[in-house]
Chains A and B, each alone.
Chain A
Amino acid sequence: MPNALLTFEGVHTHIGPYHILHGVDFAVPEGEVTMLLGRNGAGKTTALRSLMGLWKPNQGRITFAGRDISKLPTPEIARLGIAYVPETMGIFAALTVRENLLLATGPAGFQQDRLDTVLALFPVLGQKFAQAAGGLSGGQKQMLAISRAIIEERRLLVVDEPTKGLAPAVILHLIEAFQKLKAARTTILLVEQNFEMARALGDTVAVMEDGRIVHRGDMAALAADTGLQERLLGLSLAAHQ
């Protein structure tokens, strides 16, 4: 197994008075796609927000490239080379598509080759480059959010439920885009309820339930075992297939 780029060890997170994560353990191997699955309310988003420092874990360690990042402020975590696409996408509606992307570039601005690659992946963004992002459709906003995460070279891409609420054709487009990123050996941590997407992309998988990891293994093994799927993911799986 390749080296882990990111690890959670016994991570507990509280949101206000609520104890949400109860000791989360899993690892994201370098150069692979790790799926984080689980039913609604299992704690997937909370785990990603803890990683980004948006909720502060109050116990346990989150290490990135060998360094404990669980107490760092959010901007410092991001600067280590982590790109985050939140469940809510985090698109700046009042800014143009171009400005949304520009925010994620270094001080020198766009590198033409990376911009070309991104716009080749999602040509519609090129057509709407100078328009306010608030006017994009839901699918286009998700494409913009993903583009913003890859417009600069990063070490880890963290994406929270990119297919949520999108039409099947758009989901296929996103799967294709992620397959290209996977082929380029980008390290990705992907939360998803859409099992098709998980099956198509995942190398390894961790499944959450009630703020804990209840299963870890190869994605292919979970994909082949419908009994296990039913037990771990239950109705949410059937509803999304």
Chain B
Amino acid sequence: MNRLAPYLLLPAVMLAVMPFMSHSSWLALTVAGLAMGMMLFLMASGLTLVFGLMDVLNFAHGGFITLGAYLAVSVLGPLTGWVSSESWALNLLALLAAVLAAAIASGVAGLAFEAILIRRVYGSHLQQILITVGGLIVAGELIVALWGPQPLPLAKPAILRGSFLLFGATIETYRMAAVAVGLVVYAGMHALLNRTRIGLVVRAGVENREMVEALGYRVRRLFVGVFVAGSALAGIGGAMWAEYQELITPSIGGEMTILVFIVVIIGGLGSVSGCFTGAMLVGLAANYVGFLAPKLALGSNIALMVAILLWRPRGLFPVGGK
């Protein structure tokens, strides 16, 4: 029972708020919360694995989110014709181009960041915090230098604008699409982690890196791959979040970083399942609380984290000795 409890938390939270709102509001808010959760999951999953595998705390992770968001703006700008076209194929092509560009740019930035800074500070959390916070500041300034400090608008592809009715609730199309994309990525990641040798080595490495190395696996090399993949996913999350907001500022990554760290801590550092559950909880809480008690919305995620850590000090899905 105790081991199942974290899995039951999501449905329990969803059911618990039902009596306080109409069914249509509940459905709309739940979809909105899950959509936000999916995007948070994309942004956070790399961070949790990076910590799990090499014990590296990367506060610059938000920089990859920002970069992804700005790449989306830059790619979608010239593609306005495709974005507003009636053809869903052109719509999707534009979106795909934006997401791919975000993934590649953030992945390459991650590769450089790992090689230049991260590998110099293995083993020292203090140095990691100083150097990655510094990296985040530099990245923020670079973004401002390249794209300017003013907020930039971007448009959703025509087919993902607007909303539709589902059981009497108005559901934004984009949110439904975000849920779908998030589920596909989660399923893919789950399969990679649970059905392949690389996934097996990553899961083992998160639990006990030293033993994995003693079995002949080059964990550092693997870590670089995970770091790059995690950065690319953060870029995708950032691009999707930018499309969702339709307006971005240079602080987008910093704002999301707070939520991303809450997600990773709630889930249990190093756990992908925990990260997924944590992301959904944060997304749902933000939407439910924003509707029921808007004044409390800001503090609700911190309160959620405190409550969960009081219940489970090492997060919902504790990993190894972490």
Q: Using a CB–CB distance below 8 Å, which chain A residues touch chain B?
A: 52, 54, 73-75, 78-79, 84, 86, 90, 92-95, 99, 102-104, 107, 148
Contacts and interface: CB of A to CB of B under 8 A. Distances in A.
A104 B200 contact: no
A95 B212 CA distance: 13
Contact of A103 (B210, B215, B319): B215
A78 B201 CA distance: 15
A94 B213 contact: no
A90 B217 CA distance: 14
A54 B211 CA distance: 10
Contacts of B213: 73-75, 78
Contacts of B211: 86, 90, 92
Contacts of A103: 200-201, 204, 212, 215, 217
A75 B217 contact: yes
Q: How large is the interface on B (under 10, 10 to 19, 20 to 34, 35 or more residues)?
A: 10 to 19
A54 B209 CA distance: 11
27 contacts: A73-B213, A74-B214, A75-B216, A75-B218, A78-B214, A78-B215, A78-B216, A79-B216, A84-B214, A86-B211, A86-B214, A92-B204, A92-B208, A92-B211, A93-B207, A93-B320, A94-B203, A94-B207, A94-B320, A95-B203, A99-B200, A103-B200, A103-B201, A103-B204, A103-B215, A103-B217, A148-B215
Contacts of B208: 90, 92
B197 interface: yes
By secondary structure, the A interface counts as: loop
Interface of B: 197, 200-201, 203-204, 207-208, 210-219, 319-320
B200 A94 contact: no
Given A74-B210, A75-B218, A102-B200, 18 more contacts: A52-B214, A74-B213, A75-B219, A78-B216, A79-B216, A84-B214, A86-B214, A90-B211, A90-B214, A92-B207, A92-B208, A93-B207, A93-B320, A94-B207, A99-B204, A103-B212, A103-B217, A148-B215
B200 A54 contact: no
Contacts of A107: 197
Contacts of A84: 214
Nearest to B217: A75
A92 B218 CA distance: 17
Contacts of A102: 197, 200
A93 B200 CA distance: 13
A206 B163 CA distance: 77
A90 B210 CA distance: 9
B41 to A, nearest CB: 20
Contact of B214 (A54, A92, A93, A99): A54
Interface centre among B212, B213, B216 (most CB of A within 10 A): B216
A148 B211 CA distance: 12
Contacts of A86: 211, 214
A90 B320 CA distance: 11
Contacts of B207: 92-95
A54 B210 contact: yes
Nearest to B197: A107
